[in-house]
Amino acid sequence: MTQTQIRPRLTFEEYLAYDDGTDTRYELVNGVLVEMPTESEINVVISSFLFALLLPLVPYYRLRQKTEIAVSSRSVTSRCPDLMVLTEAGVRALKGATQSVVMPDMPVPALVIEVVSPGKPGSDNYDRDYVDKREEYENRGIPEYWLIDPMRAVVLVLSLVGSSYKAVEFRGDDRLESPTFPMLSLTAHQILTAGEDE
């Protein structure tokens, strides 16, 4: 007879302290560690492209990759956006922290950027990016959220109006309109095809 090993549910604090000695990335879902897949190449390239593009507009220490943000949802306790722009107050709040996590009592980022993983409506990837994260970031009060979807060739810029997001869709040669970065001269096509001309 085989025994099934039941893993104990972790608290958010235990999750933050968890280290299995590998570079494996996890999310905490309903108290259980769930291994995150390796990022797709297009996600990495688009995120790097935007990092480089925003660098002349924002001090380097406010641009973050691999910084998590605590969220409140039915199952997940934190997310790790592809790119995040912190406020100066957010940088001060993280100073001296043992882990790079924007906790619930800290100022929210000025902008969060997510590159959508492939998936059809109703799939885990689609629902996570289009439904769950949108609600989580909205509930956190993040003023601006970009959802970049290479598969559907669209960039959504979501701006917080009151307590909910208003989404504007950009395709092809549409020039992105960002409330946080109105000086940006960038089209949806440039973002979605990042790295293709290199």
Instruction: Give the model's pLDDT for residue 92.
Output: 97
| Backbone phi, psi, residue 102, to 5° | -80, 100
Please report where in the chains the tokens 């810029």 appear, as a residue: 157
Instruction: Give the model's pLDDT for residue 145.
Output: 97
Contacts for 2 with CB less than 8 Å, ≥ 6 apart: none
Q: Which of 129, 148, 183 is nearest to 48 (CA)?
A: 148
Q: Which one is the CATH code of 39-192: 3.30.360.10, 3.90.1570.10, 3.40.50.300, 3.90.1150.10?
A: 3.90.1570.10
Q: Does residue 101 sit in helix, strand or coil?
A: strand
Q: Which of 76, 94, 78 is nearest to 86 (CA)?
A: 94
Single-letter residue type at 185: S
Instruction: Give the model's pLDDT for residue 131.
Output: 86
Instruction: Give the model's pLDDT for residue 24.
Output: 63
> pTM above 0.95?
no
Which regions in the chain score pLDDT beneath 50? 1-6
Q: Could you give the residue ranges of the DSSP H alpha helices within 63-105?
A: 88-94
Instruction: Give the model's pLDDT for residue 156.
Output: 97
Give the pair of three-digit tokens for residue 14: 């235990």
> What is the largest distance, in Å, between two alpha-carbon atoms of the chain?
66
Each residue's pLDDT tens digit, 69-106: 988 776 668 888 999 999 999 999 999 988 899 999 99
CA-to-CA distance for 109 and 141, rounded, in angstroms? Answer: 9
Q: Contact, 47 vs 83, CB < 8 A?
A: yes
CA dihedral 136, 157, 152, 42 (to 10 degrees): -80
The total of other beta-carbon atoms located within 10 Å of residue 180's CB is 17
Instruction: Give the model's pLDDT for residue 120.
Output: 78
